[in-house]
Homo-oligomer: A and B are copies of this chain.
Amino acid sequence: MEPDDPIHPWRVLESGHGPDLRLFRPRWDLVENPRNGYRLRALVLETPPWANVVARDAEGRFLLVRQWRFGTRSRSLEVPAGVVHTGEPPLEAARRELLEETGCAAARWSTLGSVAPNPAVHDNRCHLYLAEGVERVQEPSLDEGEDLETLWMTAEEVRAAVADGTIHSALAVAALARVLDLRVAAPEPAD
């Protein structure tokens, strides 16, 4: 970012927290628009880093997890994922979540960078990993507040599941896009 970058940082004039929402801690920042001096209160939902894992076995099959999601009140097919604990390196969180959710471990781990789940609202990153040579080493260990199904799918099946909306979590799609070509073959007219 050069000194003459036309997008200037917004000054934070005040900052205070709202009521705790478990995974999210609301914070209100009084910020000032560098373009015109206009001030507004911006809501930030502070939340820890997350980790998402694109997991493949030695034959290249993908390991997905399927669960009921409380936001959409629907089933969602996603990549193994979870919250990074305080003080935990993101890679360790990725290994732990893969093991807990699926009972699997991987022979090789690669980084796929990270994304911001929602840069307008959240302060966190979601770290993306590729786990290869994945195999079952134990039973999944779900806590009593989880209900989860694991599935093995071919690359073609995963691409089809993204295309038909079975895989619809933006974070799962962002992770899979690092590994699979997810282009829509022939977009349909919208009007």
Contact = CB atoms under 8 A, between A and B. Distances in A.
Nearest to A12: B73
A45 interface: yes
A18 B163 CA distance: 35
A41 B180 CA distance: 36
Interface string A168-191: 111101101111111110011111
A145 interface: yes
Interface residues of A, number: 89
A78 B7 CA distance: 13
State how many copies of this chain the complex holds.
2
Interface string A3-42: 0011111101000001101111010010101111010101
Contact of A174 (B74, B146, B149, B174): B174
A115 interface: yes
A45 B71 contact: yes
Nearest to A9: B68
Interface of A: 1, 5-10, 12, 18-19, 21-24, 26, 29, 31, 33-36, 38, 40, 42-45, 66-76, 78, 91, 108-123, 125-126, 129-130, 142, 144-149, 163, 165, 168-171, 173-174, 176-184, 187-191
21 contacts: A1-B75, A5-B75, A8-B68, A10-B70, A21-B26, A24-B43, A24-B121, A31-B70, A33-B145, A71-B123, A76-B116, A76-B119, A109-B190, A110-B188, A110-B190, A115-B173, A118-B118, A129-B190, A176-B177, A178-B183, A179-B183
